[in-house]
Amino acid sequence: MLSKHPSLIKMFYSFFIIIFIFYVFLDGDFYYIKHPLSIIIYILLLIIIILSYYIDNIIINEKIYFINKNKNKNNFIYSKKIKKIDHGFDGILELDNKIPKWWKQIFIITIVMSTLYFFSFLFTNFANQQFEYKIAYKNQLKKIKEYEKKKPQANLDTVKFDKKFINDGKKLFNENCATCHNVDGGGNIGPNLTDDYWINHTEKTLIKNIFYIIWNGSKNNKVMRAFGASGEIKGNDIEKLSSYIYFINKKNKKPNNPKSPEGDKINFY
């Protein structure tokens, strides 16, 4: 019996069914789906599919040749299988054949796959976006931790002011420092950070002095704890914080209602 499936369509959906099977078994992990070994397997499978349909076409052509050779004998049988609709008024003869099998098969496959997908989504974690997000989030945190372990942290010897740290430093300041020093740095229960007066002054440069206080805390005020020494804030984040405090201390525009000066006036450079 002759196949009614066009080879191009058969090749197309066969190949993508294979890709989908890979996707399902690899749990949607695109790292393995795009892995060079996987790509080699895809290419080999595609070559096998092309060869199989090439051989199939040869067999079909042989069948057609055999039918044409014996068409006089089989003409009556084949003419019975073809249904026709005669419009009559316009002289157009319309064929009324069944839908091609390949079309019905694709339609059935889509129904089966959508049903499997639907119940998998309801009763398993497959294609569950929230579950996938949690896994991706955990993996991202692991990568960040690994990166932080390998990346050297800033310390008192290496700290330096950098403009690119200001935005991140501002966020860290609002989260950790604004309660005591006010959002604008003008001071609250803690001292004003925008003037030239400092209660704690152990270093020669302003950026290092700020870093030292955040890392070690203040001996004069226990409320100002040692964020760095305790491990509460890492060295690179303290460098960002220090850059932001350095920035608001040096800029010309000062807070509207700053706290009165505390400590000694120090001309840092």
Q: What is the DSSP code (8-state) at residue 224? A: S
Task: Provide the whole-model pTM.
Answer: 0.49
- Whether the CB-CB separation of 194 and 245 falls below 8 Å is answered with no
Exposed e or buried b per residue across 155-183, where buried means at least 16 C-beta atoms within 10 angstroms of its C-beta: ebeebebeeebbebbbebbeebbeeebbe
Lowest mean pLDDT among 59-73, 83-97, 186-200: 59-73
Predicted local confidence at residue 85, as pLDDT: 66
Average pLDDT across the chain, whole number: 80
Q: Which of 209, 237, 226 is nearest to 151 (CA)?
A: 237
Residue 63 three-state SS:
helix
Predicted local confidence at residue 249, as pLDDT: 93
Q: Residue 206: is its pLDDT beyond 90?
A: yes
Say how far apart CA 190 and CA 185 lie, in whole Å.
Answer: 9
- Whether the CB-CB separation of 148 and 235 falls below 8 Å is answered with no
Q: Residue 65: is its pLDDT beyond 70?
A: no
- Structure tokens, 218: 């203040």
Q: Residue 3: is its pLDDT beyond 90?
A: no
Lowest mean pLDDT among 70-74, 172-176, 226-230: 70-74
- Residue 154 CA to its chain's centroid (Å): 29
Q: What is the pLDDT of residues 241-254, one digit of tens each?
A: 999 999 999 988 88
Neighbours of 28 (CB within 10 A): 12
Higher pLDDT, 35 or 175: 175
For range 170-197, the mean pLDDT: 93
Residue 78 three-state SS:
helix
Q: Residue 171: is its pLDDT beyond 70?
A: yes
| Range picked from 49-63, 144-158, 202-216 for highest mean pLDDT | 202-216
For range 35-41, the mean pLDDT: 75
Q: Residue 8: is its pLDDT beyond 70?
A: no
At residue 78 the predicted structure's pLDDT band, cuts being 50, 70 and 90, is very low
Q: What is the pLDDT of residues 113-150, one digit of tens each?
A: 888 878 877 777 776 778 888 888 999 988 887 877 77
Higher pLDDT, 163 or 149: 163
Say how far apart CA 65 and CA 113 lie, in whole Å.
Answer: 38
